[in-house]
Structure formats: C-alpha cells, structure tokens
Amino acid sequence: MGAATVTAREATDRYPTRTGTAATTMPRHDPVVYPSDGGPLDGAQMHAFDGDGFLAIECLITSAEVELLRDEVERLAADPGLAGDERVIREPDSDEVRSVFEVHRLSEVMARVIADERVAGMARQILGSDVYVHQSRVNRKPGFVGREFYWHSDFETWHAEDGMPAARAVSVSIALTPNYDCNGSLMVIPGSHRTFVATVGETPPDHYRHSLRRQEVGVPDHGALTRLTEDAGRIVTVTGGAGSAVMFDCNLMHGSAGNISPYPRTNLFVVYNSVENELVDPFAADRPRPDFVASRHVVSL
C-alpha cells in the first residue's frame, strides 16, 4: 500500500503502532474500569486498580491449590507427548522449559482455577462484562539463568499482532513459588496503563516464534519509559508468597529482571478479554498469531 493511501483499517485504528516511523505516545482511549454488578473486589481495590493499573492480592488461592498446580506444571513440562509441541517454549541458552501455553486446554486442574470466581470474577468486575481466555500459560523462570523480560505493554502486541481492538483486557498472574525482590519478579510502572506507547519497526512474519523467546519489535523507546517513570515517581516490584496474585491492565508497562538467585519463579498467567472486545484482523501484522497464543474463540467462562 502506498504512503498516501489511507485504508479503512488505518482510519479506524485508534492505536496505530509499528508504522516504521517515529515512536509516539497517546492517551488511552478506553476506560480502565467498567460499570459492573460487583464481584470479589471492594471499592478500594477497584479504585487502586483504576489509578495504578495493577492490584496485588495475597493468598488468592490456597496452599493446597498451589501444590496441585505445581505438580501439574511439572507434569506438563515433562510430558513426552508435549516435547515437540509448539506450545512448549524453552530458554534460548539452555533447554529448560520457560513457558507452556494454552494450559486452560491442556490441563483440567488449571482450567478449573482459571474459571474460578475468585480469579475470573475479578476480571468480569473490572471489565464490566463476561470474559473469555485470550491466552493462558505457565511461566517458569529457572534459578541462576532466568532471563530478563524487557519493558512492554501487552496490549501493544495484542493490538498489533492479534487484532485486539480496545484496551479492555486484564492479566492475572498467580504465583506458584514465592516472588521475591531477588528472583526476577514482575516490575511495573504505576499509572503507565493510561498512555499508549506506539513502537517503531514493522512486525516481521511469524514474529511470535522469536518474540516468545526474545523481543525484537514492540519495544518502547527509552524516552517514553523515562517519562512514564518520572510521572509515576517509582517502579514497583510486585512480591508475594506462593498463592498470591497480581492482576494488571493489558496496557500497563511492565518487565522483569533476570533471575540469578537459586529461587525458581513459576507463575500461572491468564489473560481475560471482554466478550465485547472480540479480535479482528491484526492491526500491524500480516496474519494473526496461532490460537494457542491468542484465542480467536470467544467462549464465556
């Protein structure tokens, strides 16, 4: 397409990104919290989520459930039937399993927790609608060699590569091992969910194959990150015991340092998208990523 032609898609894209030109920022166009009939969160928690873009919750699930889920992670990582499966992602420098995707389909135990009112109920309450699983995965950051994850907004990727039209999705990360300040825990820039940071560079074909291992495009620039951090006045490292959780807005800028500690870090990670925010064609990629990374089947929980 020529530079002078504006397609229908470009005209309706409220969050243009990866256009190959300058990095820009713009205010978020969508609400963070939608009206709802209530749920597990109280008013203070809703307010905190609205302002900060994230909410940490101790003891979201029981230690018995943690135990059950950890056994399930080991079973999945060791399953010979999944050894060559593209849903199983390994560390670039070793062969350790880093992530297993689509665990809500691979494991009944995990599917049950993911659909539980304590977890999915928070997402419904924030998003003011029914929700479905856009993505689920287990992340294992091994001790000593766990790699860093550079800053990014998930929504930037989901919009560009999956065709998620609005910023109306939340992630819940449930800690299956303790998240310390020393083992590569989630770092967030509070309030950054209110700014959309467009990134430079076009999405290469089948980008997800590499980006799940190491990021290449979709990387925000230093200037934008510095401004967001200055506005926030702080970066928060989210710590918590096994069974704790953090829910965060899809556009919150987050990342994590490498893990040289001996403590592995394993989290169950679920993205809930509003059923009113169904995926369309990708806004900045040739074709959508596969279903195990970004489900195109809206099945209300």
Residue ranges that bind a second copy, judged by CB under 8 A: 143-144, 148, 150-151, 180-182, 184, 187, 222, 225-226, 229, 235-237, 255, 257-263
Place of tokens 């539980």: 116
Q: Least Å distance between CB 255 and a second copy? A: 5
What distance in Å separates the CA atoms of residue 217 and residue 18, rounded to the nearest whole number? Answer: 8
Nearer CB in complex with a second copy: 99/259: 259
Q: Least Å distance between CB 25 and a second copy? A: 15
Q: Least Å distance between CB 234 and a second copy? A: 8
Nearer CB in complex with a second copy: 38/262: 262
Nearer CB in complex with a second copy: 36/261: 261
Q: Least Å distance between CB 206 and a second copy? A: 26
User: Phi and psi of 204, rounded to 5°?
Assistant: -75, 160
Nearer CB in complex with a second copy: 142/165: 142
Q: Least Å distance between CB 226 and a second copy? A: 5
Nearer CB in complex with a second copy: 136/173: 173
What distance in Å separates the CA atoms of residue 236 and residue 289, rounded to the nearest whole number? Answer: 31
DSSP string, 37-103: S--S--HHHHHHHHHHSEEEETTSS-HHHHHHHHHHHHHHHH-GGGTT-TTEEE-TTS--EEEEE-H
User: Phi and psi of 60, rounded to 5°?
Assistant: -70, -40
Nearer CB in complex with a second copy: 181/281: 181
Angle at 57 between CA 104 and CA 169, to 5 degrees: 50
Q: Least Å distance between CB 68 and a second copy? A: 25
Residue pair 201/264 in contact (Cβ under 8 Å)? The answer is no
What distance in Å separates the CA atoms of residue 244 and residue 238, rounded to the nearest whole number? Answer: 10
